[in-house]
């Protein structure tokens, strides 16, 4: 059974992209009821369906949980309990792969065998949880919820764990292309010739068609002025049609990720640009020189991008608008054969996306 479950999780994860819109989360857990309910502690299992949104909350989820054959204390009777709920979730990133979240919502509890004032009832619940991203396509989550029933104000404490399977790749934004209006027809009035034995007919030269200058890569810069044709859709470009890059010139000592205070002016330029253009995101590209192994340099370049990201977050840039990439030693801007060239290559650059 364990092998079948692991095979299912692996197969499902390969089907879904990391840039997702929906989540499905199978869960298992338990319920600790208030003592006056005369119900024993119980196990539960369930399924949740989440929709990622961009509001004050990050996700809306619909959920179902069931507990089978729950014993009544001081009685031979038992009952099945079904619970249905909807929650609004807000996430708080702690690290790249770990986040804390809070939730609030309402639900309905259906009790098959009602006894000892345990009746069907709606309830209000709130809670906290942790979500750990194992890979881009698979996460684990654990949470605790407190529920208060509308009937008698009875209380239940829920604790659950589950594995998160994302799906539904988000569409890439496409630049809107305005159609070129057709030229208005030209009406030419030709005066009637004076009466003559042999009238002379003048030929009218055709009106030349206007020259249409296109924008093939839809970046807002016409082809005749675009120095970087075929720019990928979504990239922010400058007046020449090339990807807007701020060379932060945040350089690092060999094998270091510490940022000197003298580079704060350049990092603040990025933060100011993001505050003015609140519909943009930024990509931080970390780089290293060629000293050391390629594997180690790849990891070091990610750490340098993370260091700049931490400063941007402290300057007020929302973490969800920051993407961090590491290129190791593969993207030099100067020779690695000199001390000066290697210093230039130990850097972080910033690119922007709409």
Residues 66, 81: contact at Cβ < 8 Å? yes
Furthest C-alpha separation in the chain? 126
Domain that holds residue 327: 245-353
- For residue 310, is it within any domain? yes
**Of residues 254 and 271, which shows the higher confidence score?**
271
**What is the CATH number for 107?**
2.40.160.20
pLDDT 10s digits, 80-112: 999 999 999 999 999 888 999 999 999 999 999
Q: Which of 169, 186, 201 is the last residue of a domain?
A: 169
Task: Please report, for residues 258, 290, 291, 305, 344, the alpha-carbon distance to residue 339 in angstroms, rounded to integers and kept in the order given.
Answer: 19, 11, 11, 22, 9
Look up the pTM and report it: 0.45
**What is the CATH number for 331?**
3.30.1330.60
- 138 and 13 co-located in one domain: yes
Quickly state the pLDDT bin for 258 (edges 50, 70, 90). Answer: confident
- 103 and 13 co-located in one domain: yes
Quickly state the pLDDT bin for 212 (edges 50, 70, 90). Answer: low
Q: What is the per-residue pLDDT for 5?
A: 44
Task: Please report, for residues 191, 193, 196, the alpha-carbon distance to residue 199 in angstroms, rounded to integers and kept in the order given.
Answer: 13, 7, 5
Q: Is 12 helix (H, G, I), strand (E, B) or coil?
A: helix
- For residue 263, is it within any domain? yes
Q: Is 250 helix (H, G, I), strand (E, B) or coil?
A: coil
Rounded to whole angstroms, the Cα distance separating 65 from 18 reads 27
**Bridge partner list, 350:** 246, 284
Find the mean pLDDT for residues 40-53.
95
Find the mean pLDDT for residues 301-327.
93
In this structure, what are the phi and psi dihedrals at residue 294, rounded to the nearest 5 degrees?
-65, -40
| Number of independent structural domains in the chain | 2
């Amino acid at each position: 059974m364990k092998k079948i479950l692991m095979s299912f999780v692996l197969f499902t994860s390969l089907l879904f992209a990391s840039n997702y819109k929906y989540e499905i989360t199978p869960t298992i857990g338990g319920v600790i009821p208030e003592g006056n309910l005369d119900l024993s502690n119980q196990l539960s299992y369930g399924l949740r369906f989440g929709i990622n949104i961009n509001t004050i909350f990050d996700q809306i989820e619909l959920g179902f949980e069931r507990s089978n054959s729950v014993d009544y204390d001081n009685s031979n009777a038992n009952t099945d309990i079904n619970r249905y709920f909807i929650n609004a979730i807000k996430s708080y990133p702690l690290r790249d792969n770990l986040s804390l979240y809070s939730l609030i919502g309402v639900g309905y509890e259906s009790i098959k065998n009602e006894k000892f004032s345990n009746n069907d009832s709606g309830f209000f619940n709130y809670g906290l949880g942790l979500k750990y991203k194992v890979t881009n396509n698979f996460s684990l989550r654990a949470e605790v919820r407190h529920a208060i029933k509308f009937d008698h104000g009875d209380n239940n404490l829920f604790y659950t764990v589950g594995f998160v399977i994302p799906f539904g790749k988000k569409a890439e934004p496409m630049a809107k292309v305005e159609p070129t209006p057709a030229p208005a027809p030209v009406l030419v009035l030709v005066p009637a010739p004076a009466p003559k034995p042999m009238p002379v007919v003048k030929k009218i030269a055709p009106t030349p068609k206007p020259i249409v200058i296109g924008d093939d890569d839809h970046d807002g810069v016409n082809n005749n002025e675009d120095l970087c044709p075929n720019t990928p859709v979504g990239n922010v470009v400058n007046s020449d049609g090339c990807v807007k890059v701020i060379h932060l010139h945040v350089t690092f000592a060999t094998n270091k990720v510490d940022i000197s205070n003298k580079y704060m002016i350049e990092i603040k330029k990025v933060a100011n640009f993001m505050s003015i253009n609140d519909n943009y995101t930024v990509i931080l590209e970390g780089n290293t020189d060629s000293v050391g192994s390629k594997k180690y340099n790849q990891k070091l370049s990610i750490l340098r991008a993370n260091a700049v990201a931490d400063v941007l977050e402290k300057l007020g840039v929302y973490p969800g608008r920051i993407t961090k990439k590491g290129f190791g030693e593969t993207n030099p801007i100067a020779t690695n054969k000199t001390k000066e060239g290697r210093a230039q290559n130990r850097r972080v650059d910033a690119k922007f996306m709409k």
